[in-house]
Structure 1
Amino acid sequence: MTQDLSRSQRLLRGTGLALAVALAFSGCAEMGPREKGTATGAAIGAIGGAVISSATGGKAGTGALIGGAVGAVAGNIWSKRMEDKRKQMEAATQGTGVEVTRTADNRLQVNVPSDISFDVGRSALRPALHPVLDKFASGLDGSMKVMIVGHTDSTGSDAINDPLSVDRAASVRDYLVMRGVSPTRISIEGKGSHQPIADNSTAEGRARNRRVEIFLSEAQPKG
């Protein structure tokens, strides 16, 4: 009798999990870009909540509701403004080697390689980077936040590369501030040579690793 009851409980939990997943994603197809960012966060939270609740013996539906609420609050959104900015940056950087992408967490990433950003061992901006930053700075509203991350290749020691990467990020920040972006909306970080995207044993790879990444995000509005 106890075995049959346990089997029934597992079946109900599995059904609750499936229902939570279905409910979480059912409305996404009809949503616009802004709502989809929120809905995706809610969906991921719902699934996580349902899985955790089911695994720990709780009610999957209740866990999904709690997880969905957390996911919706935590996620960035991808609004029409963000999509317009992506298109603007793609047009502005065409043929420059700058990569413009939308990240999995709904941020706009602008990856600027060394040939238009910085000379080897220097943190001063090259003139070729100015038009890119001018376009980036234009049209940003108060809800958008900027994160700038500087990188170096593996030439030299961490004692040199770590502060150099921070200085490069700071140079980009200072230029954006001169173009009217509030410094309170900008954060910077330096990764030194610790996050390479190419092989440091080749000159081409080292050039790719000497870069600055600029992230633009629009947080979920508080309601």
Structure 2
Amino acid sequence: MAKKEQKLICEEMPPWMITFSDVMTLMLTFFVLLVSMSQIDSRRKLVALGSIIGTFGWQDASYEVFSKTDTRRTVEPGPIDSGDLEPLKELKWENVDKDINFRSNRFVQILSINSSLLFPPGGIQLSDAGQALLKDFMPVFAQVQFPLLLAGHTTELRDELGNNYEPGDDTQTPDLSWKISLDRTLAVYSYLLEQGMRPEMLKVEAFGKYAPYYPRNTSENRAKNRRVDIVLDKRSLDAGERVRQIAPQPRNTPDTLDIDGFEFDLRPPAGLE
């Protein structure tokens, strides 16, 4: 009688695992083959790129990648809330484009006043017209909720000093243009304090001839660069207000404490208050 053949079965791996492994290997090979044969849809790529281009406003593209019609819905930031310099923008002055300039964005507002409106030619003391102009601005300055930065700007010494310019003035240390801008800024600062502005609501900086807003290639542009900027930055706070915001709130301590019907007196002994 022939002996029955014995089946060899690995005791460490169940029989179904061999079949399962073969199937997984075949599926992996199948998907690798699909990936190797696939191609990127150029249309989908263009749509994705068009969305990015339209969002950030590059060139003349829009959300619709195959159209140059501007379909963006960009919302410009509105004016800063009440308590800013916005009311000054609506006032009308003679030669407003040359003498006074108002620039603003979502957080910062800059009121530029030409030095010719505030000071006599080559002077550092406020003229009567300059004092009257700042006095007209005081109702707006007084209601501002954020500190104002007074920034003085000048131009080349030949333009500033005129006939008083002498060779060697440009080699002084510190630069004389910086000193002129500082003196003018301090004159405005002192006058605003006299009109009731709080010292902590004013800051002073002087830039001399080193931060021109207009190109210095013409005399007209250099004249526009002689200015005092009144800058309101909504991101800056009054120092006192900042301290009040970060200071811990005082806690009201009760005089007595009740625990399971027992009342304890928490008041300090007499003489220690």
Task: Name the TM-score, length of structure 2 as normaliser.
Answer: 0.48
What's 1:114 paired with? 115
Show structure 1 runs of 5+ residues with no match. 29-35, 39-76
DSSP-derived class of the 2:189 partner: helix
Is 1:210 aligned to residue 226 of structure 2? Answer: yes
What's 1:127 paired with? 128
Find the aligned partners of 1:135 and 1:146 in 2 and give their Cα distance: 16
What's 1:49 paired with? none
| Counterpart code for 1:84 | P
What's 2:191 paired with? 175
Among all aligned residue pairs of Structure 1 and Structure 2, give the percentage whose two residues are the same amino acid: 20
Higher alpha-carbon deviation: 190-199 or 179-188: 190-199
What's 2:138 paired with? 137
DSSP-derived class of the 1:138 partner: helix
**Structure of greater Rg:** 2
Find the aligned partners of 1:121 and 1:185 in 2 and give their Cα distance: 28
Q: Taking structure 1 as reference, are residues 132 and 219 closer, same or farther at Cα in structure 2, changes over 3 Å only? A: farther
What's 1:104 paired with? 105
Alignment of 1:191-206 (within 5 A): 191-196=207-212, 197-199=214-216, 202=219, 204-206=220-222
Find the aligned partners of 1:211 and 1:26 in 2 and give their Cα distance: 37
Q: CA offset at residue 154 of structure 1?
A: 0.9
DSSP-derived class of the 1:144 partner: coil
CA deviations on 1:149-189 (whole Å, 9 max, x unpaired) are 11112114262111221221121111112112222121121
Q: Taking structure 1 as reference, are residues 18 and 159 closer, same or farther at Cα in structure 2, changes over 3 Å only? A: closer
Structure ranking higher in helix proportion: 1
Higher RCO (CA-CA < 8 Å; seq separation 6+): 1
Q: Taking structure 1 as reference, are residues 193 and 94 closer, same or farther at Cα in structure 2, changes over 3 Å only? A: same
| Aligned equivalent of 2:155, options 138, 153, 156 | 153
CA deviations on 1:64-116 (whole Å, 9 max, x unpaired) are xxxxxxxxxxxxx61245433422xx23x344643232323543322222322
What's 2:181 paired with? 165
Find the aligned partners of 2:87 and 2:130 in 1 and give their Cα distance: 21
Is 1:83 aligned to residue 99 of structure 2? Answer: no
Find the aligned partners of 2:39 and 2:176 in 1 and give their Cα distance: 67
Q: Is the 8 A contact 2:149 2:231 kept in 1?
A: yes
Q: Taking structure 1 as reference, are residues 27 and 200 closer, same or farther at Cα in structure 2, changes over 3 Å only? A: closer
Show structure 2 runs of 5+ residues with no match. 1-34, 57-62, 64-71, 158-168, 246-273
Q: Is the 8 A contact 2:146 2:236 kept in 1?
A: no
Q: CA offset at residue 13 of structure 1?
A: 8.1
DSSP-derived class of the 1:194 partner: coil
Q: Taking structure 1 as reference, are residues 185 and 20 closer, same or farther at Cα in structure 2, changes over 3 Å only? A: same
The aligned length equals 170
Task: Name the TM-score, length of structure 1 as normaliser.
Answer: 0.57
DSSP-derived class of the 2:124 partner: coil
Find the aligned partners of 1:100 and 1:206 in 2 and give their Cα distance: 15
Q: Taking structure 1 as reference, are residues 12 and 172 closer, same or farther at Cα in structure 2, changes over 3 Å only? A: same
Find the aligned partners of 2:135 and 2:102 in 1 and give their Cα distance: 18
